[in-house]
Amino acid sequence: MNYFTVTAGDGRSSARCGVLETGHGIIETPCFMPVGTKATVKGLTPRQLHEEVGAQIILANTYHLFLQPGEQLVGELGGLHAFMGWDGPILTDSGGFQVFSLASLRTLEEEGVTFQSPVDGSRHLLTPERAIEIQEVLGADVIMAFDECTPYPVDYETARRSLRMTARWAERCKTARRRTDNLLFGIVQGSMYPELRRESAELTREIGFDGYALGGLSVGEEKSLMYEMIDMTAPLLPREQPRYLMGVGKPEDIVAAVAAGVDMFDCVLPTRNARNGMYFTWQGPLVIKQARYRTDSLPIDEQCSCYTCQNFSRAYLRHLFRSREILSSVLATIHNLYFYHRLMEKIRMQIKNGTFADFMKNFISNYDIS
Amino acid sequence: MNYFTVTAGDGRSSARCGVLETGHGIIETPCFMPVGTKATVKGLTPRQLHEEVGAQIILANTYHLFLQPGEQLVGELGGLHAFMGWDGPILTDSGGFQVFSLASLRTLEEEGVTFQSPVDGSRHLLTPERAIEIQEVLGADVIMAFDECTPYPVDYETARRSLRMTARWAERCKTARRRTDNLLFGIVQGSMYPELRRESAELTREIGFDGYALGGLSVGEEKSLMYEMIDMTAPLLPREQPRYLMGVGKPEDIVAAVAAGVDMFDCVLPTRNARNGMYFTWQGPLVIKQARYRTDSLPIDEQCSCYTCQNFSRAYLRHLFRSREILSSVLATIHNLYFYHRLMEKIRMQIKNGTFADFMKNFISNYDIS
């Protein structure tokens, strides 16, 4: 099955455009996936995701849905697409990242991870087999292998042991797979050690997956170190398959990772920051609670065609935020996701035009990252 | 100016259909006005209000907007319509009801009410003149006279003193009016004393307003007593002008008040209850958190064509409510406001068909009020 086609290259970097085919539609890459943790992108209806944002694919979190309402319920109701009323593609993570974030509440063994539910205190064992089973019951179009997201900082030996276990788990995930209508992605770990990233990439490729993710990044390391890891790891992954940088990131991170040949991104920043009153603009972030916007009749971003910018002033949006109105979160989420999706659209256009390298230079210098 | 036309009567009750013309469009009555307290109907975009709900007119609260962000700011930004991005008609209340609800934080004199802001502790004097000035700066299409919402229960003498002051204030409101592009409504008080309701109606008519409101109802009295007051007061108000029952109510209350000849309604029930997970249906209220909906694949109301009922199951909506997701409030608000607006549409159709009396009988007996 030829589910992924590289349709254009940049010529001057490793950036590329592609088309990813899934059971629920086609995705143009490079793409951004809004995070819909508990089967909802917080505050937006699926209609708004389609019409106001232009979302191609969304991400849902296996861990959260396993705990509440439970994958069986979602399965009985026809799977995640029917459950949440989203007919486009969905990617689910494996739950590993969230389980490992539980720290003291979990114990790790070769078999898997035992953890206690923060919802009701019940104990659960999450294994590679179980992670795949849950994701297949949820019925996502792209599912992820169950990995250990190696903590940072970490010593070389621990990082090596971790990536090797992730590789053994990856093999078990592949074996555990039952459905044929999804894509299974493997995850490359190795912390910030180039040699270990290389080993992890090789082990994961040897098992063979439909796509490859870069995991364990944006976990507290310096930005330059993250870029270094992306730059060295991406070329180790098959050119003819999609590459996914998990949990990244800021607009400038996405542009940099696209240059390294990454195709897919997800991040809570545009949605979470929206709820905190931070708007992304082409001039950098705008914090709406600031007093200087009190009487400001301009839209958030004069260059933006989103519903929020076409209809509301900074003064009104500041009023909504200060009044803790639900609509503040809704309008900011629409704007931020629109911004991220137009960024990806621009990136794709620049790659197709062969002007991505210049675009990147301009973007990095004009976009106020502060 | 012939801004209100009665277009149909029921024949068997005092129910009537009408058309109310405002500077921002025409309203078909009987109508329901969603409450947009702080210049937003909580959780919905103006686009959703238009497209998913079919709202004709909304209500905003003078008191809240006076405190935050202040009417001057709204005025500088082009008035309430521009500020909140709603191009349809808006009615503002006078702020009286909220100020009187402050209890110990306010003192009442002939001049007006002195009160302390719960937002920042500052002291303010709200007078009839000031209430009109604020509303005219906000720029609503229908503005309300500043009245004392008589507390309940209350003795006869206090209720009489109160309604007479409300009448003196009403006169001052009429004199204070400056704009000619809005409609000013007077408010009838008199607590639960028919004789005082009659006196208040006469005093208010004598001053002369563009419309008349029934105030001081649904303040804790028995339902039968409220109906009695509505039934006896409505016929005392001019037939050729709109009648507005403030802050009422439940679906059955609206149907009963329409039968008495009331044209306009507002109430927080559909929006507030939505945020608490209570859905209005043609079979009565549905409380979504109940365990029996855990695996229920049916929509909230199989008879309903709203966005929520067309796309989501009770099980999903229960999951959203239990997960405290913003989308729970959004989808429930869409449904409940849709329900209220379809109820008003049905009422208008039944009046036009001359079948309203039968409809009312059926509705009251089939609609499960419990």
- Whether B181 sits among the annotated catalytic residues: the reply is no
A206 min Cα distance to partner chain B (Å): 40
Q: Do A330 and B330 touch (CB under 8 A)?
A: yes
Collect all residues of chain B within an 8 Å Cβ-Cβ radius of residue A323.
Answer: 38, 68
Residue A158 CA, chain-centre distance (Å), reads 26
- Rounded Cα distance, A80 and B95, in Å: 46
Provide mean pLDDT across the span B124-153. 96
Comparing A318-332, B14-28, B99-113, the range with the smallest average pLDDT is B99-113
Collect all residues of chain A within an 8 Å Cβ-Cβ radius of residue B61.
Answer: none
Q: Do A327 and B73 touch (CB under 8 A)?
A: no
Predicted confidence at residue A106, as pLDDT, reads 86
Predicted confidence at residue A368, as pLDDT, reads 67
Instruction: Render pLDDT for B146-189 as a digit per residue (tens, 0 to 9).
Output: 999 999 999 999 999 999 999 999 999 999 999 999 999 999 99
Nearest chain A Cα to B294, which residue?
A73
Predicted confidence at residue B103, as pLDDT, reads 67
- Whether B93 sits among the annotated catalytic residues: the reply is yes
Res B369 pLDDT > 70: no
A92 min Cα distance to partner chain B (Å): 18
The tokens describing B238, both together, are: 């001019």
Collect all residues of chain B within an 8 Å Cβ-Cβ radius of residue A307.
Answer: 45, 47
Give me the count of residues in chain A. 370
φ/ψ of B357, rounded to 5, equals -60, -40
The tokens describing A57, both together, are: 């694919």
Nearest chain A Cα to B75, which residue?
A295
Of A42, A77, A297, the CB nearest to B326: A42
Q: Do B295 and A77 touch (CB under 8 A)?
A: yes
- Rounded Cα distance, B293 and B322, in Å: 12
Contact A133, A92 (CB under 8 A): no
Collect all residues of chain B within an 8 Å Cβ-Cβ radius of residue A320.
Answer: 38, 40
Res B370 pLDDT > 60: no
In a mutagenesis test of the A interface, which of B272, B327, B329, B330 is the best target, namely the one with the most A β-carbons within 10 Å?
Answer: B327
Q: List residues in chain B touching A: CB distance below 8 A.
A: 38-40, 42-47, 68-69, 73, 76-78, 83-85, 294-295, 297, 307, 311-313, 315-316, 318-320, 322-323, 325-327, 329-331
Nearest chain B Cα to A48, which residue?
B48
- Rounded Cα distance, A321 and A318, in Å: 5
- Rounded Cα distance, A279 and A276, in Å: 9
Domains defined along chain B, listed by start: 4-266 (3.20.20.105), 268-370 (no CATH)
Largest CA distance in chain A: 60
- The per-residue DSSP string of A253-321 comes to HHHHHHHTT--EEE-SHHHHHHHTTEE--TTS-EETTSGGGTT--S-S-TT--SHHHHH--HHHHHHHH
The residues of A annotated as belonging to the active site are: 93, 266
Provide mean pLDDT across the span B206-213. 98
Q: Do B313 and A44 touch (CB under 8 A)?
A: no
**Amino acid letter for position A59:** L
Residues 6 or more apart whose CB falls under 8 angstroms from that of A106 comprise A99, A100, A113, A114, A115, A116
Q: b/e map of B213-222 (b: 16 or more CB within 10 Å)?
A: bbbbbbbebe
DSSP B275: H
Catalytic residue among B10, B93, B147, B263: B93
In a mutagenesis test of the A interface, which of B64, B276, B292, B330 is the best target, namely the one with the most A β-carbons within 10 Å?
Answer: B330
Q: Give pLDDT tens digits along chain A (370 positions).
A: 589 999 999 888 999 999 999 999 999 999 999 999 999 999 999 999 999 999 999 999 999 999 999 999 999 999 999 999 999 999 999 998 888 887 677 899 999 999 999 889 999 999 999 999 999 999 999 999 999 999 999 999 999 999 999 999 999 999 999 999 999 999 999 999 999 999 999 999 999 999 999 999 999 999 999 999 999 999 999 999 999 999 999 999 999 999 999 999 999 999 999 999 999 999 999 999 999 999 999 999 999 999 999 999 999 999 999 999 999 999 999 999 999 999 999 999 999 999 999 999 999 888 866 5
- Rounded Cα distance, B50 and B60, in Å: 16
- Rounded Cα distance, B137 and A310, in Å: 24
The ipTM (two decimal places) reads 0.97
Closest CA to B271 of B20, B60, B95: B60
Collect all residues of chain A within an 8 Å Cβ-Cβ radius of residue B84.
Answer: 312, 316
Of A68, A76, A327, the CB nearest to B45: A327
| Numbers of helices and strands, H then E, in chain B | 15, 16
Residue A162 CA, chain-centre distance (Å), reads 22
Contact A89, A56 (CB under 8 A): yes
Q: List residues in chain A touching B: CB distance below 8 A.
A: 38-40, 42-47, 68-69, 73, 76-78, 83-85, 294-295, 297, 307, 311-313, 315-316, 318-320, 322-323, 325-327, 329-331
